[in-house]
Every structure is written in structure tokens, then in C-alpha cells.
């Protein structure tokens, strides 16, 4: 089965929206994107190899704004935010430069003599930061040590928590996080530590120095795909590994060899392993998009021979698809929208309009082979009808393949753009209203002209318009006849 640039809903498949250039920060890759939130305000931040930019407001998407931070020696960051009596603060670490503390206005390098200060450890060694039970935890790069601060604090004497006697396969700690059984903060929360060898330690308690701090266990998973390739869902802690995306709730109950069967990517396991083999040279990321009920997994383009794509999953049904044409080096969810940064310093907004920044894209569906209630009987497939619900004009092409061999015709061209305008976009007394606001059901028959034992329905659709498409495939009907039996 092929599902390219279609999103699987509960009852149908929907053509994905396009993408539009949002900002340019560099000529090199957009290594990381993240947000800072305080009250109802949200800021959008991004980094290249040496700079950090605030791209909350962009004057010109083709012109790089002035950098807020310059002179960094590494651009891939881990970020964690904490609220204190003094305000909302965010720690930004990369394992090479001094940790940065951001208060919504100023980036302050933190060391042993700064204000605030972190003492007892060199902050330039911090490669990952997370928040657990109102304390900040920092992973010391290439070691088995984690350092944590006093409760509700952004500075002070850091205490060491060593995993050297816990992890038996060597390596180093790469990240840590919170696993909550009830999707909130409470006494049932657990602290999860992951090594680069795929060992996972789980602890329960308020902090390592507390008498009630206890080790739940040490478990084994496949190596992680990146320190930001994690996501929380329903209280569970999900980690992207070489074997798939594994919930920590399954990792503590199953042997590592059986975890691929319990992963949420089990339906695409062969494809997942293929992409891991191609793209593991760069860190992957996961972006949760609640308003779209989806999550996006970045698939970095590591060289010119690797195509631009990403995985997308319906969080409600667990159904997977992949989107092509999006070079997802980094991902970010900002103000209910999804964004990706590419290898040439450009950041795009996802699911907007019906073209990829002016370039058309094709949505392709190939169904599973169907013997149509007559296994082993030869058939002639005459024609097929697609039934759609849509808000814009489009030109579908329905075809078919037989006997388990996919043969796609050339894709159709995109329909002409609408002359109507969107509300709040077109000019009053000038524009024609209601563009893309009315859903209509349409059907169309296509000649198939194929014969064989099993039939695979196919649908191709090219989009290149300005209006966000709401095109759903409702059904495909087929006219065919069974062959006779010769004796």
C-alpha cells in the first residue's frame, strides 16, 4: 500500500495542505526550533550553527533577521522551561557553550560567577536539560552524570546524580525526562534516564537526594534517534529508536527483542528501518500537533541522494502516512501551527495553502491487493469511480494495478486556481467571497482497462492552488467481470 501526501482520518483519507515560507535565518541548516511561553504570549526561536534568532515577528521571509545570540560553537539545543516566583525562565544547552538562560527578553550565559550562577559543574558540558518535580536536570555530555538544581530554582549549587553503577553496557547518558501515569504532575510521576546504548533507568521519588528516591528498574531498548525525538501522549513517554517509536510503558514490560511489536510504528516497521539506515547520521525529532490530531517525525536529508520527506501519524487511530517535498531537518509547534526548517536556512509553515511555496505536489494512494471475493479467479477490470468531498476544484486520476505489481500512470496536472477569495484576505467590494468555504460531493468514472487476479485501486491528485484543500476520498467503486473456467 502507498499513502503519500494523504492524511488518514477515522473514515477517509484527506489530501495534505501545502507549505509556505515563513522565515530565513541562514544559508546553512536550521538546526533547532523551539518556543518560549509566558502567560498568553508565545515566542518563536530558531538556531543555525552559530546563532539564535527570534522569529516571532518576521518582516521579510527572504531576509534573515538580526541574531539575538551570536558566536556559538554548536547549534543543536535542548530546551526546558521552568516557572518560578521571579518569572518564567528557559534553559538552552548544547554541550559546547555555556548554558543560556532566557527570560523572554535577555539571553544570559550561565557559569559559576554569573547572576544567577550554577556552581559545582561547568555548564558548557550540559548537553540536555529537562524539568522533573520542579527541578531542572542537566545531562553532562559524554558521561554517566546528571546534575540537578534546588527545587524551583534557576541557579545554585548543582548536585550530581551518577548512573555509572546502574548502566552496565557503558556509553553515556543522552537524555532524561518525565513519565506520568495520569498525564499530569503528581506523586506517581517517574524519572526516566536513557543512555546511548539503549539502556533505560526508571526512578520514582522527588529527587535523587531524597530518602524516598527509589529505582524502579533498568530496561533495554534500541538506540535512540535523537535527544529531541521524544513525545508525551496520554501520560506515556514515547521515544523514537532504531526499532520504532517505543512507549516507556511497554519498555518496562517487554524484552528489547519484542519491543518492535509493541511500538506505535509496528505497521510501518520495514519502512522505518529503511529510513533509519539512510538517515541516522543526523538527529530526528518528533512534533506533536494537538489541533490537527497528528504527530510529525522528521526524516533529515543527510545527502543529495536522500529524498525530502517526513512521517505523519494520526494520534487517534495510529494510522501512518508520509509527506514528500518537505525537507524536515527540524520541527516546531508554534501557536497551533506546524513548522519545519530545512538544510538551507529556510523555515516553512505546514498545512497552509495548496502548494509547496508555489510548487505543485502530488498526492498518491495505492490500495492493498483485493481478490474481490474470488480468490484465484481471473478478472477483467473495466472502470472505477471515485467519490470525493472537497472545497476546491481538483483533477483526480483513478487507475489500477493488478497481481501485486504497482504501475502508476503519469500524475494529472493541477486544476486552475480559484478566482474567489478567502474571508479576511480579499478586498471588500472587489473580491468574490466564499473561496474554499463550501464542501461539495463529486464523483467521476475512469477507464481502468486492466486484467488479473487481484486489483489495487490507485488515486493521484496534483495540487498547486492558494486555498487550503479539504479534499477527502470517500470511496472507490469498481466495474469488473469474472473470467470463465475452461476445461
| Model pLDDT for residues 86-126, shown as the tens digit of each residue | 999 999 999 999 999 999 999 999 999 999 999 999 999 99
| Cα separation, 257 vs 15, whole angstroms | 36
**Nearest of 329, 241, 326, 246 to residue 282 by alpha carbon:** 329
**pLDDT of 428 above 90:** no
pLDDT in tens, 334-391: 999 999 999 999 999 999 999 999 999 999 999 999 999 999 899 999 999 999 999 9
| Cα separation, 452 vs 20, whole angstroms | 43
Region 68-87: mean pLDDT is: 98
Strand order in the sheet with 145-148: 126-132, 135-140, 145-148, 159-162
pLDDT tier, 436 (very low <50, low <70, confident <90, very high otherwise): low
Task: Tell me the β-bridge partners of 399.
Answer: 458
Question: What's the pLDDT score for residue 399?
Answer: 97
Mean residue pLDDT of the chain comes to: 94
**pLDDT of 430 above 60:** no
Nearest-Å Rg of the Cα atoms of the chain is 25
**pLDDT of 252 above 70:** yes
pLDDT in tens, 167-206: 999 999 999 999 987 655 555 799 999 999 999 999 999 9
Distances (CA, A) of 82 to 75, 102, 134, 387: 22, 11, 7, 50
Question: What's the pLDDT score for residue 1?
Answer: 87
**Nearest of 25, 24, 7 to residue 16 by alpha carbon:** 7
Region 297-314: mean pLDDT is: 96
Region 323-337: mean pLDDT is: 98
- Whether the CB-CB separation of 406 and 4 falls below 8 Å is answered with no
pLDDT tier, 255 (very low <50, low <70, confident <90, very high otherwise): confident
Region 201-212: mean pLDDT is: 97
Torsion angle defined by CA atoms of residues 40, 118, 176 and 331, in that order, rounded to the nearest 10 degrees: 50
Phi, psi of 249 (to 5 degrees): -65, -25
Region 47-57: mean pLDDT is: 99
| Cα separation, 299 vs 308, whole angstroms | 8
Cα angle value 78/57/96 (rounded, 5°) = 25
Residue 349 vs residue 439, higher pLDDT = 349
- Whether the CB-CB separation of 328 and 315 falls below 8 Å is answered with no
Cβ within 8 Å of residue 186, ≥6 positions away: 180
- Across 221-235, 369-383, 407-421, 453-467, least confident range: 407-421
**Nearest of 347, 354, 398 to residue 44 by alpha carbon:** 347
Burial zone of 123 (CB within 10 Å; 0-12 exposed, 13-18 middle, 19+ buried): buried
**pLDDT of 268 above 80:** yes
Question: What's the pLDDT score for residue 355?
Answer: 97
**pLDDT of 412 above 70:** yes
- Across 57-71, 406-420, 444-458, least confident range: 406-420
| Cα separation, 273 vs 424, whole angstroms | 45
Angular region, 448: left φ>0, alpha ψ -120 to 50, beta rest = alpha
Region 238-253: mean pLDDT is: 95
| Cα separation, 292 vs 55, whole angstroms | 23
Region 307-335: mean pLDDT is: 98
Amino acid at each position: 500500500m502507498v499513502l503519500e501526501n494523504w492524511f488518514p482520518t477515522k473514515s477517509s483519507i484527506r489530501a495534505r495542505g501545502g507549505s509556505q515560507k515563513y522565515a530565513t535565518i541562514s544559508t546553512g541548516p536550521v538546526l533547532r526550533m523551539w518556543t518560549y511561553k509566558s502567560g498568553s504570549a508565545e515566542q518563536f526561536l530558531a538556531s543555525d550553527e552559530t546563532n539564535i534568532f527570534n522569529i516571532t515577528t518576521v518582516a521579510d521571509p527572504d531576509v534573515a533577521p538580526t541574531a539575538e545570540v551570536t558566536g556559538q560553537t554548536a547549534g543543536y539545543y535542548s530546551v526546558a522551561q521552568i516557572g518560578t516566583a521571579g518569572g518564567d525562565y528557559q534553559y538552552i544547552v548544547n554541550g559546547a557553550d555555556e548554558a543560556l538562560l532566557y527570560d523572554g527578553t535577555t539571553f544570559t550565559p550561565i557559569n559559576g560567577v554569573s547572576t544567577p550562577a550554577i556552581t559545582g559543574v561547568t555548564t558548557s558540558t550540559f548537553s540536555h536539560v529537562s524539568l522533573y518535580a520542579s527541578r531542572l536536570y542537566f545531562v553532562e555530555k559524554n558521561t554517566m552524570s546528571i546534575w540537578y538544581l534546588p527545587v524551583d530554582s534557576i541557579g545554585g549549587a548543582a548536585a550530581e546524580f551518577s548512573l555509572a553503577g546502574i548502566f552496565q553496557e557503558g556509553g553515556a547518558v543522552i537524555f532524561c525526562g518525565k513519565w506520568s501515569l495520569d498525564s499530569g504532575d503528581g506523586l506517581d510521576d517517574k524519572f526516566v534516564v536513557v543512555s546511548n546504548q539503549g539502556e533505560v533507568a526508571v526512578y520514582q521519588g522527588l529527587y535523587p537526594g531524597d530518602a524516598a528516591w527509589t529505582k524502579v528498574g533498568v530496561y533495554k531498548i534500541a538506540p535512540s534517534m535523537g535527544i529531541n525525538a521524544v513525545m508525551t501522549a496520554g501520560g506515556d513517554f514515547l521515544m523514537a529508536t532504531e526499532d520504532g517509536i517505543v512507549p516507556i510503558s511497554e519498555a518496562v514490560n517487554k524484552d528489547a527483542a519484542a519491543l518492535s511489536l509493541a511500538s506505535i510504528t509496528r505497521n510501518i516497521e520495514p519502512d522505518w528501518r529503511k529510513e533509519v539506515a539512510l538517515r541516522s547520521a543526523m538527529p530526528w525529532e518528533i512534533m506533536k500537533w494537538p489541533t490537527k490530531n497528528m504527530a510529525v517525525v522528521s526524516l533529515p536529508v543527510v545527502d543529495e541522494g536522500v529524498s525530502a520527506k517526513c512521517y505523519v501519524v494520526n494520534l487517534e487511530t495510529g494510522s501512518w502516512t508520509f509527506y514528500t517535498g518537505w525537507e524536515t531537518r527540524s520541527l516546531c509547534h508554534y501557536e497551533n501551527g506546524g513548522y519545519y526548517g530545512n538544510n538551507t536556512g529556510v523555515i516553512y509553515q505546514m498545512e497552509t495553502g495548496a502548494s509547496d511555496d508555489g510548487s505543485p505536489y502530488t498526492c498518491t494512494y495505492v490500495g492493498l491487493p483485493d481478490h474481490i471475493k474470488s480468490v484465484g479467479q481471473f478478472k477483467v477490470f473495466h472502470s472505477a469511480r471515485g467519490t470525493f468531498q472537497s472545497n476546491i476544484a481538483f483533477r483526480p486520476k483513478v487507475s489500477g494495478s493488478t497481481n501485486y505489481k504497482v504501475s502508476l500512470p503519469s500524475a494529472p496536472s493541477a486544476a486552475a486556481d480559484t478566482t474567489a477569495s478567502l474571508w479576511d484576505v480579499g478586498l471588500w467590494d472587489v473580491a468574490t467571497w466564499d473561496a474554499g468555504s463550501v464542501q461539495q460531493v463529486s464523483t467521476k468514472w475512469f477507464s481502468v482497462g486492466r486484467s488479473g487476479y487481484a486489483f489495487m485501486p490507485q488515486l493521484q491528485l496534483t495540487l498547486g492552488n492558494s486555498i487550503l484543500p479539504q479534499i477527502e476520498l470517500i470511496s472507490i467503486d469498481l466495474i469488473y467481470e469474472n473470467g470463465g473456467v475452461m476445461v
